[in-house]
Amino acid sequence: MTRPPSLSHPFLLGFDDIERALDRVAKGAGEGYPPYNIERMPRTDNEPDKLRITLAVAGFSREQLEITLEENQLTIRGRQIDDKTRQFLHRGIAARQFQRSFLLADGMQVLGADLSNGLLAIDLARPEPERLVRRIDIMSRD
């Protein structure tokens, strides 16, 4: 299903990328595994705004997880390989794979990632953009 363009007003110039980003986010909204939190970290005087994405990845080792950043898309992948040498009498925990993506705003920086007690935490920073005011000269074509 295609959304009608919502940013097509004549005063909104150059927002095509936002339209595409909204479409990408809408397509990935059905993902449910693994569960995750996004929290705003307390701000300090000399640091920019920080966010933390925490994913519940119990059963995954560091080697089975991969985090990539391509353009503005942060992607976390988990791959578990089924151990054929083990013989289960009951199998309630499946070896699974997942991929979860987050679309980051321009200027967002990935500071690092940490895996502890089955939780993968990825820290992000949003530096304050510089406020630029530029005067545009008007040329006369007489």
Instruction: Note the pLDDT tens digit of each residue in 71-125.
Output: 889 999 999 888 889 888 898 887 789 999 998 988 899 999 999 999 999 999 9
- Planar angle of CA 96, 29, 80, nearest 5 degrees: 10
Q: Hey, what are 121's tokens?
A: 């935490």
Kindly report the average pLDDT of the chain as a whole number. 84
pLDDT value at position 11? 64
Please determine, for residue 5, whether its predicted confidence score (pLDDT) is greater than 90: no
pLDDT value at position 12? 65
The proportion of the chain whose per-residue pLDDT surpasses 70, expressed as a percent, equals: 78
Residue labelled with tokens 């693994």: 34
Q: Hey, what are 60's tokens?
A: 């995954």
Q: Are 97 and 79 in contact (CB under 8 A)?
A: yes
Q: Are 101 and 73 in contact (CB under 8 A)?
A: yes
Q: How far is CA 70 from the centre of its chain?
A: 10
Residue 128: pLDDT band (50, 70, 90) is confident
CA distance 123 to 110: 6
Please determine, for residue 61, whether its predicted confidence score (pLDDT) is greater than 90: yes
pLDDT value at position 46? 79
Please determine, for residue 7, whether its predicted confidence score (pLDDT) is greater than 80: no
CA distance 115 to 129: 30
